[in-house]
Structure 1
Amino acid sequence: MGFCGGCAKALLIVFNFIFWLSGAAILGVGIWMIVDKNIGSYFEVLNLDTHDQFFKYAAYILIGLGVFVFLVGFCGCCGAIRGSKFLLGLYIFFLVLIFAGELCAGVLMIVYRVQIEDKIDDALESSIKKEYGESVTITDAWDVVQVQLDCCGGNGPNDYVDSKFVNKQSEQMIPLSCCVLTNKGTAEENPKDAIAKNGTACYDKLGEYYEKGCKDGLLDWGKEHTTILIGVGIGIACLEIFGIVFAICLCRQVDREDKY
C-alpha cells in the first residue's frame, strides 16, 4: 500500500480509538440518566416525568447508541487492517447514519431547551401549588432541589401561598427544605433527615430561610448540562467527518490496488 494509503489506514485506526471513547461517553450519559437520582429530581420539578416511558427510552437509546458506536468502530478497524472495501463501505454508511442522528438529536435538544425556558414559570408554579405535599415523587424532588440550590419555591417562597401543602399544614408557611439547615451535607443525600437551624422562625417566614427562588438555579443547571451534551455531540460529529474522509481515501486506495 502506498504512502497515502498507509497514512489513511493509520489515521483511520487512530480515529476509531477516539471514536470508541466517544461511544463510551454516550454510553455513560445513558447510564447516568437512569441511575442518577438528582437528575430525576430536577426533571420532576420541571414537570418532565422521568417515570414516563419516553424518558427511559431516551436513556436506553443512548446506551444502545454507545454500544453501536463500539461495533461500528470495530467494523472500521477490521476494514482498515484487512483492506476490505465491503467493511469500509459499511463503516462509511453507519458513520453517515450516526452523524445524521446526532444532528437531529442536537436540534431537538436546542428546541426542547427553549420550550422549557418559555414554560418554566407555569410549570414551577403548578408543581408547587398543586402537587407539593400531594405527590410523594414531586415533594421529594422539590426537597432535593431546594436543599441543593439553597432556594425556596420557583420564583420565591410566596409560591407556597394558597398551595395544597400550606392548606394541609396550617402551622407551616414553607417546607423544611426551604430553611437554613445545620446538616446541609446530610440533607442533600436525604432531605427527610434535614434539621432546621431555627424551625420556628423559618416556618413563619420570620428568618433563617432562603428567599430566592429556584428558577434561576434550575435554568443554570439545565443550560450547563445541555451545553455540555451539545458540545460533546458537535465534537463527535466533527470527528465523524474526518473518519468518513479517511475511510473514503482508504477505500479508493484499495480500489486502485485491485485494478493493478
Structure 2
Amino acid sequence: MSKEDVMKAGLYCVNVVFAVFGLVTAAVGIWFFVQLAEFVGLRNSNHYLLDYRVYWPQVAPWLFILLGIFIMIVAFCGWCGASKESRGLLGMYGVVMLVIVLLQIISAVLIFVFVDGEYTDRFIKDTVYDGYYNSQSNPDVYRQFGRIERKLKCCGANDARDYRSWRNDLPLTCCADSYYRATCEFTDKEANERLGCAKVAAVYTKIISSSIAGASLLIAIVEITGVVIAWKLFHSLREVEHYITERKEGETEC
C-alpha cells in the first residue's frame, strides 16, 4: 500500500467521524430547541410583545444545528476529494475545515461565557415563573407545566410552597408515584424535597450547553488531524502530477 493510499484511508476515517459528529450536533441542536420551545411556550406572549432582546439559550440551538449541517457538507467534500484525488477539493476542504475549527472554538467560548452565566439563569427563571403564574388561569399551560414537572422531577417555580397560595394540595406531577395515587398532600416528603423547576431547568440548560461546547472543542482536535492529512495528501498529489508531467515531456522529446 502506497503512502497516498494510507493517507486516503486515514482521511476517509476522519471524515466519517466528522459526518457522525455533525449529524449528532445537528440532532442535539434540534432536540435542545424543542425542549427550550416547550419552556418558552409556557410564557404569556402578551408580556413579550415588545421584547426584542436576543437570549443566548435561544441562539445556542441554532448554532449547533447550523454547525452540524456545515460539518456534514465539508466532510462529504473531504471524502470526494480523497476519492477522486482532487487537489482542488482537498485544498478547499483544508481551508474550510480550518474555518470550522475557528468557529467551533469561538462558539464554545461564547457558550461558556454567556450561556453559563447569570443572564441565562435570569432568562430561564423568568420564563418558568411566568409559565407557573400563567398556569393558574390557563388549563393548557397548567397541563404543560405539569409535564415539565414530571420530566425534570421538580415542583412549582421556586419549590412546593408556591402552591400554598391557591390550592389545598400539590398537583400529582409533584409526587414520585403520582400514577398510583389520587392525591398529593402538602405533607408529602418527596414533593417537598423537590427543587423548583426554575432552578432545575437553569442547571440542565447549563449542563447541556457546556457539554456540547466541550465536545466541540474535543472534536476540533480530530478536525485539525484531518486538516494535516488533507494537506499532506494535497502536496503528495502535486508531486505525483509533477513527476508524470516531467516523464511525458521526456518521452515526447525522444
| TM-score higher than 0.5 | yes
Task: State the 1:20 CA deviation.
Answer: 1.5
Aligned to 2:126: 123
1:248 counterpart letter in structure 2: W
1:97-136 alignment runs, 5 A limit: 97-110=99-112, 111-116=114-119, 118-119=121-122, 123=126, 126-127=129-130, 130-134=133-137
Aligned counterpart, 1:12: 11
Aligned mates of 1:152, 1:180 — CA distance in 2: 11
Residue 131 of structure 1: SS of its match in structure 2?
Answer: helix
Q: C-alpha displacement at 1:128, in angstroms?
A: 5.9
Structure 1 residue ranges without an equivalent (≥5): 185-195
Identity across the alignment (%): 24
Residue 139, structure 1, aligned to residue 124, structure 2: no
Q: Give unpaired runs (5+ residues) of structure 2.
A: 244-254
Aligned residues: 232
Residue 151 (structure 1) aligned to one of 133, 150, 154: 154
SS in 2 for 1:183: helix
Q: Verify the 8 A CA contact 1:153 1:160 in the aligned structure 2.
A: yes
- Change in Cα spacing, 1:60 to 1:121, as seen in structure 2 (3 Å) is closer
* Residues 32-68 of structure 1: CA deviation (Å, up to 9, x unaligned): 245x5x5544566799x9xx99888865664454343
Matched, 1:73 2:75: yes
Worse overlay, 223-232 or 54-63: 54-63
Name the counterpart of 2:178.
182
> Does structure 1 retain, via aligned residues, the 8 Å contact 2:125–2:199?
no
Change (3 A) 1:78 1:107: same
Distance, in Å, in 2 between the alignment partners of 1:71 and 1:117 is 32
Q: How big is the alpha-carbon RMSD for the aligned residues of Structure 1 and Structure 2? A: 3.8
Displacement, 1:210?
A: 1.0
> What is the rounded CA distance, in whole Å, between the counterparts of 1:56 and 1:155 in structure 2?
22
Q: Does residue 1:251 correspond to 2:226, yes or no?
A: no
Matches within 5 A, 1:16-55: 16-33=15-32, 38-42=35-39
Shift of 1:129: 6.2
Give the TM-score of the pair, scaled to structure 2. 0.71
1:105–1:126 distance in 2 versus 1, CA, 3 Å: same
Q: Matches of 2:37 and 2:230 in 1, distance apart? A: 41
> Secondary structure, in 3 states, of the residue corresponding to 1:151?
coil
